Structure 1
Amino acid sequence: MIKPSTPDNESERLAALQRYAILDTPPETAFDDLVAIAGAICATPMSTVSLIDTDRQWFKGRRGIEAEQTPRDHAFCAHAILEPEKVMVVPDARDDARFSDNPLVTGNPNIRFYAGAPLVTPDGYALGTLCVLDDEPRELAPYQVRALEALSRQVSHLLELRRVSRELNHQLTERNWYEQQLKRYQQELEAQNADLTEQTRTDALTGLANRRAFNVALEQALQAGREVAVAVVDVDHFKVVNDVHGHATGDEVLRDVAGVLRATGAASGLVARYGGEEFVWLIYDRALADAALQCEYLRQAVAHATQTLAVTVSVGVAVAQDGDSAERLFARADQALYAAKRGGRNRVVASED
């Protein structure tokens, strides 16, 4: 027996075989059908799709042969791939020095006749063969050789289609994974953006809306033509609180006042911390007298409900007039606040302008 030599491009050929990811896969009807057709056309009891691995011959499809694989050194197909451009025909293996004492000839399955058409990839690598075998010596007619060649091309096409399909499925799976990751990242980003947006509109100390959120809400209300009032609320003598009791206590006082403002005013408008000890209240759908009355309730609530220290507030309130801008309306409420302070603090002054 003459062992088959190794193709010059063996490492590249094996790499190509691995790309097809077909070794040791379950039987597939498409390959079994081509094996059966080849055996029928050539009138042989045995036929296979044989793939030549590093040290074995593995059958993707087989008919009339029990073994799933054989050693490469015993494989007729390992000789056939050395000349990928033609069908290798062995009329009688006992008369061929390469195979006369081959275990597959001297023992089961007692091969006498062999014909193998190489399975060649688009880039020219012979991976194995489509072969037909018999336990009796014989020859193939020219049409049978041509049919075997044609069927081997079909097996090669099937291998290629299988590879492409597998790679496409892999790409689709990866794409789906990346799309899921992208969706998750997008959701996380949206959540972070929402948090950032909330942070840019919320006062960190009191949890109330901040100046930016108030200005946006006031602009929107004026553009919509709603009847609105603006009340500016200032904690009386807050500098003294900080100087005497410290800034930590001052912060607690601001949180107390914010809590009263939230409880008193949130139902009828937007309460915000405008800066320092100054708060603002955007009151919806109230005439000036009603808005001033609401502010009076607020003033009394602060005087009685603050817990850290007993503090009072001064309030200036103004109602939007035709053609008022946000700046003009706020300025009139601010002027009313200063009038409340000049008048002795702890009071509400409504702007009549």
Structure 2
Amino acid sequence: MLRPAKPDNEAARLEALRRYRILDTPREAAFDDLLAIAAAICDVPMGAITLIDAERQWFKSKLGMDDAPETSRDTAFCAHAILAPQSLTVVPDARLDVRFQDNPVVTTPPGIRFYASAPLLDPAGLPLGALCVMDHHPRELAPRRQEALAALSRQVSQLLELRRSSEELALQLQDRAWYEKKLQAFADALEAHNEELAQQLHLDALTGLANRRALIAALDERLAGDAPFCMALADIDHFKAINDTHGHGVGDEVLARVAESLRAAAGGRGLLARHGGEEFAWLLPGLDLDAALPLCDALRAAVAGAPAALPVTVSIGVAQRQPGDDKASLLQRADLALYAAKHAGRNRVAAR
């Protein structure tokens, strides 16, 4: 295990951290929520929002770990991460990294093998700590998930700054005009950052397509009206064999490549989403089955014809909205059509 060095600007960094007056404060829901989102996007069981004090790592929020409020700085992964404050720190397998291979948090519970973090910076760029996610198993973090983690770390930094400013503003209540102007400026900044977060929450981090949350919202909206539409479900054929043979890293690359082929073939029509795992969904408003089937077959052909070192195909099931349909019944018919396409030999389109 390598003990983390102290940054050259350690004195200025600690002074900046003290200005936030956040060390040893109780947990706050706003921080817990951002950590939960980070862990969900990165699909990991553990995470933390840490602040690196002079000799300790203190947790403002933590997930999937014991309740200890702090650890020694000497064993803290995040103490290494703040040495490179302009980039993410990703450790695919801690047992293969000389900095951490015999670290007690690796060799004993919580048994960290994978670690990724994005720095928490003050407005001057001084690193205060990190937003980190962890797993008990070695793994890689896809580029889109790295981008999402960086976006969320900016949200945490903004929240820290807003919290600090709110405390300072509370001491300036005698000058009401100054207070209101300053508070509005920070509110506007937080709203802008929240728009970025809202976009992350409606996009699948790996593929860049709409996620299941966005799909269900759009489906609810369509079912509330009377206009016709179709729902198509596309599943990558033999995807489990790809993961088992080539590993999940290659599997993620295949998912991203198939998503790009689907996006190009869809041409902006309807809503294309990742439904979950290796399954994609295409919501086609205003179309009946006769109009939807050739479009879905064009999607199938685009995937099958895409140049790739590891070619793949998709099977597609299509269902048209019927009177009395709800989400469950419509998706069930689309899923049954997908099963029929698989059963008929795959790389084809079926309808119900």
Name the larger-Rg structure: 1
